[in-house]
């Protein structure tokens, strides 16, 4: 007998050599029908896996991220099988699960048309209805390569050769007449993939390199139920309406130009939005004991070699030569913050030292990866670096988590947390990494914050906590991060004088809240669909006189509002009032103030709210007080 430790901590005894599928059936047939894969000692596996030893055992359904990936991976094989049935001359490349679905890359003479995508969907439905079993088998590397060469699958051969050096068997999955090179895991059959949609077809270079051939990439998604698919498609449609690139242009916030690909141009209204966010950033950081600094945008190669960026990040950096010396435009603010720390001697009484910086950084992104404000080549990073003793680590992490929580809550974002551990390309001792990782884990556990482990995705200098916020459409975005670093203080020989009169090495936290202010603005545009809360809105009030007779009154009203630091303007165009109101609504302005003869006589305004509609007349004093209260309290 072997012992399985289940997710709830309970222990189940089963016969050795039993399959995960049989174990799940023993727990309940309902769970078996919903199961996509299992996690055995933290590793995702097929439910056809045979278990011979004691282990931690978790059943993954479509409600779990890894369960979804298994489901979508199988759906990608169904897509590839349908394509090969209909267009057998097409060559297969890769078909992974991704966020919100999957894709498959194909090599064919011409891109897929809309009509062809419809035919492929129909064939996929037939494959699902056939309920084909997925069977895994393995071949020695030489046999695997010959098997794929005989099929003419040149891309699969290339992938296979890369793994043949290890001498390990190569894994394949077969469903009906279709076989694909694949490590899995997969569903037991094609039958559960009942609802799917091919969403688009684009070009994609093989292996992501512009030097390689352009392939046809079909994007798709799939769900166990048709109702879940429809909900997703509805969200997609809503997302199109909220696209920050579309709204950014309509609302006059920013522009993207061919003269500066990946370098956004902020327009006057966009600058108001950006500066309002920055003012708020300064407000919360001042309150939390941060001091603001500014460091140069470009520094010499020696600095980047010392920080490790020249060796680990050079391909993403813009470089130049000045006076025969290599320089790099900063992709990160950290080295500058370290130099600021070194400008004076520090005592343990100075720590923790919290230094914040709104630094403009530049990173080389491939042109195909650029996307509005979400993926750019230059952005303002709301960085901060905290220097502390080892004893202060947990309290400082807790303080950063509290600050991030305050900011995200203000905008109405939910979030989940990931703890990312040591990557392969890293520097530093095993001991330092263990201490750093345990410190982050202990802090999260003491706070009582749920988190998942993201193995191998830390920064090259230390582990990190990532905050993935959820917007109003249920999409997630990685923004805030906390990175614990023992390496750079060592490399830069940072010191402080301890209470014992001896010199000690401080520990460093790198952290951001917005992440990139530009990207955060893009997220906010889509989250609020451009209808920002009044405190954040570039224009807070539009004054609409009924006719020219009320212009003087409107001007006086504008002056009152501006003196109260309320952003307002007058629509004095010779247009009908209904048209002006509709225009203000399209501009998503929080309040419209209609003034006619009656309002002018009474010294009042007729107030129309973007959110609540017509809310009646108010005195000017009453209105100003209401607006100031809403702006200062930052109501949503």
CA atoms of 158 and 317, how far apart (whole Å): 30
What pairing do the DSSP bridges indicate for beta strands 378-388 and 325-329? unpaired
pLDDT at position 474: 81
Neighbours of 595 (CB within 10 A): 22
Digit-coded pLDDT (tens) for 149-196: 999 999 999 999 987 777 789 999 999 999 999 999 999 999 999 999
* Nearest of 70, 30, 34 to residue 224 by alpha carbon: 34
Annotated catalytic residue within 81, 381, 392, 483: 381
Is 464 part of the annotated catalytic residue set?
yes
Is 385 part of the annotated catalytic residue set?
yes
pLDDT at position 436: 85
Q: What is the mean pLDDT of residues 281-290?
A: 97
pLDDT at position 189: 96
Confidence of residue 369 (pLDDT cuts 50, 70, 90): confident
Annotated catalytic residue within 48, 217, 464, 511: 464
Q: What is the mean pLDDT of residues 223-251?
A: 93
Contact (CB, 8 A) for 362 and 377:
yes
- Across the chain, mean pLDDT equals 93
Q: What is the mean pLDDT of residues 46-51?
A: 94
Digit-coded pLDDT (tens) for 607-632: 999 999 999 999 999 999 999 999 99
Is 585 part of the annotated catalytic residue set?
no
CA atoms of 102 and 477, how far apart (whole Å): 18
* Nearest of 20, 60, 19 to residue 36 by alpha carbon: 60
Contact (CB, 8 A) for 475 and 239:
yes
CA atoms of 76 and 181, how far apart (whole Å): 13
Annotated catalytic residue within 334, 392, 485, 608: 334
Q: Which residues contact 128 (CB under 8 A, 6 or more apart)?
A: 78, 190, 191, 193, 194
Domains by residue range for the chain, with CATH: 2-61 (3.10.20.30), 66-240 (3.30.980.10), 261-295+333-527 (3.30.930.10), 541-632 (3.40.50.800)
pLDDT at position 174: 97
pLDDT at position 455: 86
Query: In this prediction, what percent of the chain has a pLDDT beyond 90?
Result: 81
Annotated catalytic residue within 77, 422, 510, 567: 510
Greater confidence (311 vs 620) lies with 620
CA atoms of 466 and 420, how far apart (whole Å): 7
Q: What is the mean pLDDT of residues 193-202?
A: 95
C-alpha dihedral sign at 524, 529, 533, 538: positive
Is 510 part of the annotated catalytic residue set?
yes
Digit-coded pLDDT (tens) for 89-117: 999 999 999 988 999 999 999 999 999 99
Q: Which residues pair with 462 in a beta bridge?
A: 459
Phi, psi of 199 (to 5 degrees): -90, -30
Digit-coded pLDDT (tens) for 526-567: 999 999 999 999 999 999 999 999 999 999 999 999 999 999
Is 334 part of the annotated catalytic residue set?
yes
CA atoms of 243 and 582, how far apart (whole Å): 21
Annotated catalytic residue within 45, 385, 542, 588: 385
Beta-sheet strand order (sheet of 43-45): 11-14, 2-6, 55-61, 35-40, 43-45
Q: Which long-range contacts (CB under 8 A, 24 or more apart) does 197-201 make?
A: 197/121, 197/221, 197/222, 197/229, 197/233, 198/79, 198/117, 198/120, 198/121, 199/101, 199/236, 201/111, 201/112, 201/117
Digit-coded pLDDT (tens) for 482-493: 998 888 899 999
Digit-coded pLDDT (tens) for 406-464: 999 999 999 999 999 998 878 788 888 888 888 889 889 998 888 988 888 888 778 99
Is pLDDT at 477 greater than 90 in this prediction? no
| In the block, residue with structure tokens 């006059």 | 252
CA atoms of 127 and 86, how far apart (whole Å): 12
Query: In this prediction, what percent of the chain has a pLDDT beyond 70?
Result: 100
């Amino acid at each position: 007998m072997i012992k399985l430790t289940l997710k709830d901590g309970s222990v189940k005894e089963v016969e050795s050599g039993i399959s995960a599928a049989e174990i799940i059936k023993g727990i309940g047939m309902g769970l078996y029908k919903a199961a996509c894969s299992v996690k055995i000692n933290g590793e995702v596996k097929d439910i056809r896996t045979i278990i011979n030893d004691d282990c931690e055992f978790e059943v993954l359904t479509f409600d779990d991220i890894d369960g979804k990936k298994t489901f979508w991976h199988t759906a990608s094989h169904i897509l590839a099988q349908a394509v090969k049935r209909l267009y057998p001359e097409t060559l297969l490349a890769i078909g992974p699960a991704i966020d919100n679905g999957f894709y498959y890359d194909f090599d064919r003479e011409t891109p897929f048309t809309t009509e062809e995508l419809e035919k492929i969907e129909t064939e996929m439905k037939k494959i699902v209805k056939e309920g084909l079993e997925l069977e895994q088998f393995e071949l020695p590397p030489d046999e695997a390569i010959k098997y794929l060469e005989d099929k003419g699958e040149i891309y699969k051969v290339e992938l296979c050769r890369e793994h043949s050096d290890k001498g390990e068997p190569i894994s394949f999955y077969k469903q009906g007449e279709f076989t694909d090179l694949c490590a899995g895991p997969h569903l037991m059959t094609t039958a559960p993939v009942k609802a799917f949609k091919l969403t688009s077809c684009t070009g994609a270079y093989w292996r992501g390199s512009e030097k390689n051939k352009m392939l046809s990439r079909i994007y798709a998604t799939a769900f166990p139920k048709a109702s879940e698919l429809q909900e997703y498609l509805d969200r997609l449609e809503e997302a199109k309406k909220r696209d920050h690139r579309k709204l950014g242009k309509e609302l006059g916030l920013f522009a993207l130009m061919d003269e500066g690909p990946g370098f956004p141009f902020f327009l006057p209204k966009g600058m108001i939005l950006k500066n309002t966010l920055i003012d708020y950033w300064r407000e919360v950081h001042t309150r939390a004991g941060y001091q603001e600094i500014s460091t140069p945008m470009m520094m010499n190669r020696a600095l980047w070699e010392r920080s490790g960026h020249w060796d680990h990040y050079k391909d993403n950096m813009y470089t130049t030569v000045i006076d025969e010396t290599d320089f790099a435009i900063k992709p990160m603010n950290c080295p500058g913050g370290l130099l600021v720390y070194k400008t004076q001697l520090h005592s343990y009484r100075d720590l923790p030292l919290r230094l914040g910086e709104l630094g403009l950084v530049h990173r080389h992104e491939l042109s195909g990866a650029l996307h509005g404000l979400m993926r750019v080549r230059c952005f303002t990073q709301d960085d901060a670096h905290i220097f502390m003793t080892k004893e202060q680590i947990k309290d400082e992490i807790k303080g950063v988590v509290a600050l991030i929580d305050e900011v995200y809550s203000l905008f109405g974002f939910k979030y989940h947390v990931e703890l990312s551990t040591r990557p392969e390309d890293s520097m530093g001792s095993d001991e330092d990494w263990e201490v750093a990782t345990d410190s982050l884990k202990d802090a999260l556990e003491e706070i009582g914050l749920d988190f998942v482990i993201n193995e191998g995705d830390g920064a090259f200098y230390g582990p990190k906590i990532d905050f993935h916020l959820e917007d109003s459409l249920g999409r997630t975005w990685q923004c805030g991060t906390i990175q614990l670093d023992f390496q750079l203080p060592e490399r830069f020989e940072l010191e402080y004088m301890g209470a014992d009169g001896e010199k000690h090495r401080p520990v460093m936290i790198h952290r951001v809240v917005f992440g990139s202010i530009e990207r955060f603005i893009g997220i906010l545009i889509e989250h609020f669909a451009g209808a920002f809360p009044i405190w954040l809105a570039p224009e807070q009030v539009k004054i609409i006189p009924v006719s020219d007779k009320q212009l003087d009154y409107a001007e006086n009203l504008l002056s009152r509002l501006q003196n109260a630091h309320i952003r307002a303007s007058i629509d004095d165009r010779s247009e009908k009032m209904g048209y002006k109101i509709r225009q203000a609504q399209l501009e998503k302005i929080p309040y419209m103030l209609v003034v006619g003869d009656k309002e002018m006589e009474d010294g009042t305004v007729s107030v129309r709210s973007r959110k609540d509609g017509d809310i009646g007349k108010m005195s000017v004093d009453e209105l100003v007080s209401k607006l100031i209260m809403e702006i200062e309290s930052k109501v949503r």
